[in-house]
């Protein structure tokens, strides 16, 4: 199958090129970029030289028009663009390709009014929201089969949702009690030049941002059917996300746990998580809290949970690579499902260490 990556000069676009280079069924027909159009791919990312030695970035607008006019025939288009740009592209190419996978937030939220509230502008293609399938396989696998437009879940949202989904689904967590503290590497901000992401600002530093109003909050709430207090932080590392969540147990939790909560609470939480993810190819429940290096370079998400009887609090921890399971690997995993390919095709299941 032939694919086009639009927005290929950014970090998620480059990660798509890296992953698809090893995909047994999907090959890259073209890679398009805006500011880097005409430049050699390997000139921008020397790590991609072995597979893209002669390839150059096509112009985004030209590539979109070629697809829209039928001048180029492809099976899959991956949109690795900043939030807001896909709304003007999807209507042009939707009827020309078998599958569009959008890595941005443009079609993730099911309510256009919610999108406008959190992203501060009116949605330009609301009629395509209902055509889109949310791209988090652990949550929407069945809906992804045969999908034509996929809104792949983002990094913070994936990390947070996977940490909480087993317990929320089982009715073990009070849905209005959830607090999420998450920290991401600098690549999560994209390949833009901003003062906050300069080496001298990030190195040996740790900061909070988006306090009380980060725009991924409604997406997490949509996934969990809950109210969450989500606070993101910037880590002085290249890639990776670690999320720690705190929540109150429900009466069902107490009833199922019985009188020995203090002694068996940890084992109960871990057991619930293991049972929920037992058949998932990329989610692993760990015996101790994971670190970001546990999933580095892979499409894996590592999750852990426990119960603190002293404060009557359920704690969960999750870690993933924000550029793989949090973005490009997620997109490929979703595409595999939609196209009827093996779900794990082209995706690494072992991380890098050190």
DSSP of 77-102: EEE---TTSHHHHHHHHGGGSSEEEE
Q: What is the mean pLDDT of residues 188-217?
A: 87
* Cβ–Cβ < 8 Å for 305, 273: yes
Task: Return the closest-CA partner of residue 302 out of 313, 314, 312, 288.
Answer: 288
In sequence order, the β-bridge partners of residue 304 are 317
Position 218 pLDDT exceeds 80: yes
Q: What is Dmax (Cα atoms) for the chain?
A: 68
* Cβ–Cβ < 8 Å for 330, 136: yes
Position 193 pLDDT exceeds 90: no
**Helix or strand holding residue 177 (H, E):** none
Q: Which of 83-92, 180-189, 323-332 has the lowest mean pLDDT?
A: 180-189
For residue 116, the Cα-to-chain-centroid distance in whole angstroms is: 21
Q: What is the mean pLDDT of residues 32-58?
A: 95
Could you tell me if residue 81 is left (phi over 0), alpha (psi between -120 and 50 degrees) or otherwise beta? beta
> Is-catalytic flag, 334?
no
* CATH topology (fold) of 2-130: Rossmann fold (3.40.50)
What average pLDDT is seen over the chain? Answer: 95
Q: Cα–Cα distances in Å, from 45 out to 14, 82, 125, 202?
A: 8, 19, 33, 22
Joined tokens for residue 36: 């880097």
Q: Which phi and psi (to 5°) does residue 318 adopt?
A: -140, 150
Q: State the pLDDT confidence band at 325, using cuts at 50, 70 and 90.
A: very high
Task: Return the closest-CA partner of residue 6 out of 42, 49, 37.
Answer: 37
pLDDT tens by residue, 260-318? 666 688 999 999 999 999 999 999 999 999 999 999 999 999 999 999 999 999 999 99
* Cβ–Cβ < 8 Å for 229, 153: no
Q: What is the mean pLDDT of residues 86-98?
A: 97
Q: What is the pLDDT at residue 259?
A: 65
Q: Cα–Cα distances in Å, from 321 out to 25, 174, 184, 294?
A: 24, 28, 9, 9
In sequence order, the β-bridge partners of residue 207 are 234
Q: What is the mean pLDDT of residues 221-233?
A: 98
Distance CA 183, CA 235 (A): 6
Judge: domain 156-322, CATH 3.40.50.300.
Answer: no
Position 55 pLDDT exceeds 90: yes
Distance CA 252, CA 310 (A): 18
Q: What is the mean pLDDT of residues 234-252?
A: 96
Q: Can you give the residue ranges of every domain in the chain?
A: 2-130, 156-322
Q: What is the pTM of this model?
A: 0.96
Q: What is the pLDDT at residue 345?
A: 98
Q: What is the mean pLDDT of residues 202-210?
A: 91
The length of the chain in residues reads: 354
* Cβ–Cβ < 8 Å for 326, 216: no
* Cβ–Cβ < 8 Å for 67, 74: yes
Q: What is the pLDDT at residue 168?
A: 98
Q: What is the mean pLDDT of residues 12-20?
A: 97
* Cβ–Cβ < 8 Å for 330, 152: yes
The one catalytic residue in 14, 125, 133, 155 is 155
**Helix or strand holding residue 330 (H, E):** helix 329-338
pLDDT tens by residue, 104-156? 999 999 999 999 999 999 999 999 999 999 999 999 999 999 999 999 999 99
Q: What is the pLDDT at residue 261?
A: 65
Q: What is the pLDDT at residue 3?
A: 98
């Amino acid at each position: 199958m032939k694919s086009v990556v639009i927005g290929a000069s950014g970090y998620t676009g480059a990660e798509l090129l890296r992953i698809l280079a090893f995909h047994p069924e999907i090959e890259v027909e073209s890679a398009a970029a805006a500011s880097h159009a005409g430049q050699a791919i390997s000139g921008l990312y020397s790590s991609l030289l072995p597979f893209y030695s002669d390839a150059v970035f096509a112009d985004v607008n030209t590539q979109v028009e070629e697809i829209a006019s039928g001048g180029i025939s492809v099976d899959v288009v991956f949109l690795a663009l900043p939030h807001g740009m896909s709304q003007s592209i999807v209507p042009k190419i939707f009827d020309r390709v078998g599958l569009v996978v959008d890595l941005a937030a443009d079609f993730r939220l099911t309510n256009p009014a919610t999108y406008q509230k959190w992203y501060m502008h009116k949605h330009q293609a609301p009629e395509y929201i209902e055509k889109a399938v949310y791209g988090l396989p652990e949550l929407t696998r069945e809906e992804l089969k045969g999908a034509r437009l996929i809104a792949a879940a983002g990094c913070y949202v994936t990390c947070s949702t996977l940490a909480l989904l087993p317990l929320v689904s089982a009715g073990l967590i009070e849905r209005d009690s959830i607090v999420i503290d998450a920290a991401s590497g600098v690549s999560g901000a994209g390949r833009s030049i901003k003062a906050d992401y300069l080496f001298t600002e990030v190195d040996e530093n740790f900061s909070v941002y988006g306090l009380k109003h980060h725009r991924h909050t409604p997406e997490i709430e949509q996934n969990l059917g809950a109210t969450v207090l989500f606070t993101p932080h910037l880590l002085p590392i290249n890639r990776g996300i670690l999320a720690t969540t705190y929540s109150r147990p429900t009466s069902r939790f107490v009833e199922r746990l019985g009188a020995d909560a203090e002694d068996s609470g940890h084992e109960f939480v871990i057991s619930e998580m293991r049972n929920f993810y037992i058949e998932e190819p990329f989610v692993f429940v760990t015996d101790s809290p994971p670190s970001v290096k546990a999933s580095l370079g892979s499409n894996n998400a590592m999750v852990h949970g426990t119960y603190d009887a002293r404060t009557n609090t359920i704690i969960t921890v999750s870690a993933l690579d924000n550029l793989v399971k949090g973005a490009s690997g997620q997109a490929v995993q979703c595409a595999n499902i939609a196209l009827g390919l093996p779900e794990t095709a082209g995706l690494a299941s072992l991380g890098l260490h050190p």
